[in-house]
Amino acid sequence: MKKVSVMLPTYNAVEFIAECLESILAQDYPNVQIVISDDCSTDGTAELLKDFSSRYSDKIYLNINQYNLGITKNCNKALSFCDGEYVCFFAGDDLMLPTKISKQVKLLENDTEASFCYHRVDVFESTNNLTLEVTEETRSIFSTFDIIERGGLPGANSVMARKSDLPRGGYNEKIPAVSDWLFFIELSLRGKVIFCNEILARYRKHQGGCSAKADYLIGETLETVNLISRRFNDNPKVVSSCNKAKIRYLSGSIARLIRSNNADQLKLVNDAYIKSVSYPLYVLVLLYVRSGLIKFNVGETIFKFLSYVRSKV
C-alpha cells in the first residue's frame, strides 16, 4: 500500500487546527504521513501541534520554523519532508471527509498517465458551519489552459498528486503568496488531470483566511500571469489564456469592490485593469469611479454587468 503524505503548512491556526488534524487521522486509508510545517505561529498553534505530534508520533512529522518564512517558503519547507508516493495538499483550517484519501489514491492508481486528481469541495461559513456553496461539476478543470483562465483550481486543497510529477524546485519563491497557481499549472503539464465528481473535503471561509484577502493580492496575481505568459510566450494558446485570466480576475475584483463600496481599493484595481487589459469595459469602470457614483446606490447594475462579462470570458 503506497504512502500518502499530507502536506500541511500552518500559521496562527490554533482555532481550527485540532479539528483539521482529527479529520485527517480519521481517514479510512491507513498509510498516511501528516507533514506539518508551522511558520513561527504566535497564538499557541505550535504548542497544540507538539501535543498532537507526541500522541501520534507514528503518523505526524512536525517542523517548527524558528522565524517566519512566509507562505511560499513554508510550503516548500513542508514539501521537502514529504516522502510518500502521493502528496495531498491541505490547509490547517479545512476538513477532510473520511474517504478522501482512499478514493483519490484509487483514481491515480487506475490511471498512470494522470499527474494529479482533485474533487468537489463543500465551502462553509466558519461561524455557523452552514454550507455557502459547493464547487460545481460545470466548473471542472481538465487542462493547463483551464487552470490559467480560471485563476487556479476550484478548491486547491482538494488536490492529490504523484510526487514524481511535482515541479522541480517546488513552489516559486519569487511569488510570496499565490505560488500554488503556478505550481499547479506546471504540475498539469506533466500529465492528465482527473476530476472526481464527489465532495471529499470542506473548505472553511473565515475572516483570517487567504480567500478573504483576495483583492489585496492583485499585484502578485497579475505578476504571476505575466510570468506564465513570458515563460510560455512561444505558445499562442497559453498567451491567450493569460489574457483571459486577467480579464476574469480583474472584472471579478472590480465587481466585488463595487458591491462593497470600497472606493479606495476600487481605484487601485481600476488602474491595474487599464494597464493590464486591452478591453472596452475599462471605459465604463473608469467613468464610474471618476464620476463619484460610488457614493450612491447605483453600483448593483454595474456589478451585475461585470459579473456577466466575467462569466462569459
Task: Give 44-61 pLDDT, tens digit per residue.
Answer: 999 999 999 999 999 999
Question: Do residues 235 and 229 touch, judged by C-beta distance below 8 A?
Answer: no
End-to-end Cα spacing for the chain: 44
Residue range 306-313: mean pLDDT, rounded: 54
Half-sphere exposure of 18 (CA within 13 A, CB side): 9
Q: Which domains does the chain have, with CATH numbers?
A: 4-208 (3.90.550.10), 216-312 (no CATH)
Question: Do residues 12 and 41 touch, judged by C-beta distance below 8 A?
Answer: yes
What is the spatial distance between Cα 33 and Cα 97, in angstroms, rounded to a whole number?
Answer: 17
Question: Do residues 73 and 173 touch, judged by C-beta distance below 8 A?
Answer: yes
Cα dist. 169→72, 75, 83 in Å? 12, 11, 15
What is the spatial distance between Cα 8 and Cα 91, in angstroms, rounded to a whole number?
Answer: 6
Residue range 253-271: mean pLDDT, rounded: 66
Question: Do residues 54 and 27 touch, judged by C-beta distance below 8 A?
Answer: no
| H-helix or E-strand spanning residue 88 | strand 86-89
Residue range 246-271: mean pLDDT, rounded: 68
Residue range 124-144: mean pLDDT, rounded: 81
Angle, vertex CA 183, rays to CA 178 and CA 188, nearest 5: 135
What is the spatial distance between Cα 187 and Cα 169, in angstroms, rounded to a whole number?
Answer: 12
Of 128, 109, 270, the C-alpha closest to 194 is 109
More confident residue, 117 or 249: 117
